[in-house]
Chain A
Amino acid sequence: MRTLRETKEIDRYLLGKMSIASRLLFEARLLIDPTLKLRVEWQQRLYSIIRSSGRRQMKSEVVRIHHHLFSDPDKREFQSNVFQVFSKK
């Protein structure tokens, strides 16, 4: 359970949810505890990976919509509106 408590603490630290007092205390611990510091770094990397993965997923959702709009015969008006803009050049 010790690690779970620590994981929750790291979470609150990284999300900026700690009070100033707890944050200072936590940062003091980081200075003397290199393993804790590493776990904070790994957890932070995890959070940016979660974001990358979320962005990838959103992008593929958008790409699906793009394909739909540019292949559906019902959307011909939309398609020609867009292509017209580029053909004037």
Chain B
Amino acid sequence: MTEIQNGPDIKIPEERALLLMQLYEEVFPQVAKFAANRGGTFDDAKDIFHDALVILYEKATDEKPVYESPKRYLVGIAKHLWLRKFNHDRKKVGLDEMERTITIPEDYFEPEESRLTSLLELTGRKCLQLLRAFYYDSLSLERIKTTFGFSTAHSASAQKFKCIEKMRNIIQEKSMGYEDFA
């Protein structure tokens, strides 16, 4: 279930840009108004909205309310992010029934390993691209096969595990080098 309202598919990069653009145009003014009414700035609204779009994307593969009404869902995520950021009184924000069911991914605000992430993005670009397609974008094996030009689904899957081992070895070297001397 990756399709949102029979329209463009958020999981396909070319269609995603179109869909995100539509959502941005239609929903951002609403979020901006919400933020402004509560003393927020343009940048507050923008930051929250950008995170909300990322989270919407992550949820789009498996949560029903997302593809039933992506716009309302997006507003709901933004409200939750607002509550979190400004510690506002829940009652004053007024979440409806659907909005109350929304959760923000637990690790979303955990600090990322930015040095290691940048290093792997640099040295293992191809592998990381492939692994993102599998693990972050949750693309089907078939789609990955075509996108990355593998001859069979099996070879795509084999390459995935080679990449995991390669990247894991880099992480191992780095963590040994930095801390595990004792």
Contact = CB atoms under 8 A, between A and B. Distances in A.
A interface residue count range (under 10 / 10 to 19 / 20 to 34 / 35 or more)? 35 or more
Contacts of A53: 117, 120-121, 128, 132, 136
A76 interface: no
B136 A59 contact: no
Contacts of A52: 112-114, 117
Given A52-B113, A86-B32, A45 B171 contact: yes
A39 B168 contact: yes
Contacts of A47: 135
Given A3-B165, A46-B164, A53-B120, A85 B57 contact: no
Given A49-B117, A54-B136, A42 B171 contact: yes
Interface residues of B, number: 40
Contacts, number: 112
Given A11-B164, A43-B164, A61-B20, A51 B135 contact: yes
B21 interface: yes
Nearest to B133: A54
A42 B132 contact: no
A58 B117 contact: no
Given A11-B164, A46-B168, A65-B20, A82 B42 contact: yes
Contact of B32 (A11, A42, A85, A89): A85
